[in-house]
Each structure stands twice: as C-alpha cells, then as structure tokens.
Structure 1
Amino acid sequence: MPGMKRAPLLTLLLALGTPAGALVRLGDPLPTHPWKSADRELIVVYSHDCGDLGELWGAVLAAGLPVRAVNAEDIPAPAPKGVNVWRGPEATAFARALRVGTYPAVLLVREGRVLNAWEGTFAGDLGLAGKD
C-alpha cells in the first residue's frame, strides 16, 4: 500500500524470517545474564567470525527495543557504538545454554522468555520489492 510505513519491529521480524533452523527453544526462559530484563528486548548473540553485521545491527537498532549484545566464543568482536557488549566465558555459557546453533542469532524476548529466534546470515533483503 503506497504511503504505508512499516513498524520497525515488524520490519525486523520480516527480515529475519521464520525460526525454522533455530535450535533455541521458543518459550524457554533466558539463562542467567548480567542485565536487567525489559518487557520486550532483542538479544544479538554473535562471534568474531560472523563477518560484516552492519545491516543486521542497523535493522536491530531500528526496531526500537532495548538491544543486548552477547559476544560469545572468547574472541572480542565489535558492536555498534552505544551497545554494551557482554563477553567472556559467561557470555559463551549463556549462548550454549540457549542452544544457539549458528551465529549470529537474534532473539526476541518478552518478559524473560524467548518469543522468537532467528539464526544465520542476514542479507537485508525483506523480500518485499514489487509487492505493493
């Protein structure tokens, strides 16, 4: 529909697609973590070998929810300016307790429980071209 704006969170969820390949179990509570949980939040779990995550970070930050970054696997990797990153053995243990199978992983969390999960590459293509 011409002139219709998409909500940033909806756009992100459309971009991420379905959780078909995710090993993270929907509905599971988050393992122990160092931040105060928000009502709804996005958690990005990534490692040093994910490549360029610029488009993914852009989509995640545009969603308008608190963003938590978990840099797993003991080799520091950057996150966007202003995003606090949790690193170290506890961050890796968190990712493994969630059963993250592929980095990067994006989790939509509501009240401390995984509402949706996506794992794998992100090309930024929403698949919406020509579907007005």
Structure 2
Amino acid sequence: MRPRRAPLLTLLLTLGVSTAEARVRLGELLPAHPWQAAGREVVVVYSHDCGDLGDLWQAVLSSGLPVRAVNAEGTPSPAPAGLQPWRGEAANAFARKLRVGAYPTVLLVQDGRILNAWEGTFTGALE
C-alpha cells in the first residue's frame, strides 16, 4: 500500500524547484483582481503556449485550497472544468504588475500576500 500524501504536500512536490528565477516578490500584496480573496489560495497565471498543464492543474486542484486561474497574454486557453479563467487586458495587467517572468506561474497566497511563487516548467515527482 502506497502512503498517501497530504494534498498541499503533493502540490508542493509537484511544483518543486523552478529552473526560472522568480521575479515575483514574496510578501507583496496581489494586484487588483476580480475574485473575493480567501485566507489561503493558489493563483495560477498561464498563457496559451504553456503546453500540457494537466499534472500541474491536478495537483493544484487537489491541494484543497481555492484556485484562481489567470489566462494572460491575450490568446484564450482553457482551464480545468469548474474554473472560470480571468482573461483580457485586466488579466494581462495583473501579470505585468506581478512581474511574471515565465508562464505558468503558481502563487501561494495568504491573506492577499504572496507567500511563495514558482515560475516556469514544473518537474516535481508525484511518485
């Protein structure tokens, strides 16, 4: 029998260590956004050219935290069922204000402040 990991731990293992240098500043408040903030939440900022994000979405959705999808850069790209991605110029401005350096970017947010950030390709093992 395989030991089961806590959903948030699985998310953190999936994200692992990003090869890109995160330019998003930890501790900063999130820029203006259209959703009601939760105590702790995950924000995924992605674009149409991120490739297959299936494993990442699965880990994020399994975390047990509210998930916000921000589809930046103008070309619509789907989010998993049940998530309504935020798109358009305001979503692009949100990504620019964050200083996103690579897509996808995953933010762990607590009380409106960025607690942790991962940018780029995620290769964390789920086994």
TM-score above 0.5:
yes
- Seq. identity, %: 68
The CA deviation at 1:67 is 0.3
- The answer on whether the counterparts of 1:24 and 1:117 sit within 8 Å (CA) in structure 2 is yes
The CA deviation at 1:15 is 1.9
- The answer to whether residue 102 in structure 2 is matched with residue 102 in structure 1 is yes
- The answer to whether residue 49 in structure 2 is matched with residue 54 in structure 1 is no
- The answer to whether residue 67 in structure 2 is matched with residue 67 in structure 1 is yes
1:13 to 1:118, Cα distance in 2 relative to 1, 3 A: same
Give the structure-1-normalised TM-score. Answer: 0.89
| Distance in structure 2 (CA, Å) of the matches to 1:3 and 1:49 | 35
Return 5+ residue gaps in structure 2 as ranges.
none
The CA deviation at 1:10 is 1.4
1:5 is matched with 4
| Distance in structure 2 (CA, Å) of the matches to 1:14 and 1:21 | 18
2:85 is matched with 85
| Distance in structure 2 (CA, Å) of the matches to 1:9 and 1:27 | 20
1:85 alignment partner, SS class:
coil
| Distance in structure 1 (CA, Å) of the matches to 2:17 and 2:125 | 14
Any idea what the Cα deviations from partners look like across 1:68-114, whole Å, max 9, x if unmatched? Answer: 00000011000001001100000000001001100001000000000
1:80 alignment partner, SS class:
coil
| Distance in structure 2 (CA, Å) of the matches to 1:80 and 1:14 | 20
| Distance in structure 1 (CA, Å) of the matches to 2:48 and 2:3 | 38
Any idea what the Cα deviations from partners look like across 1:14-54, whole Å, max 9, x if unmatched? Answer: 22124672110000000000000000000000000001111
Give the structure-2-normalised TM-score. Answer: 0.92
The amino acid of 1:26's aligned partner reads L
- The answer on whether the counterparts of 2:13 and 2:125 sit within 8 Å (CA) in structure 1 is no
The amino acid of 1:111's aligned partner reads D
1:42 is matched with 42
1:87 alignment partner, SS class:
coil
> Larger radius of gyration, structure 1 or 2?
1
Displaced runs of 4+ in structure 1, greater than 6 A?
Answer: none
Q: CA RMSD in A?
A: 1.6
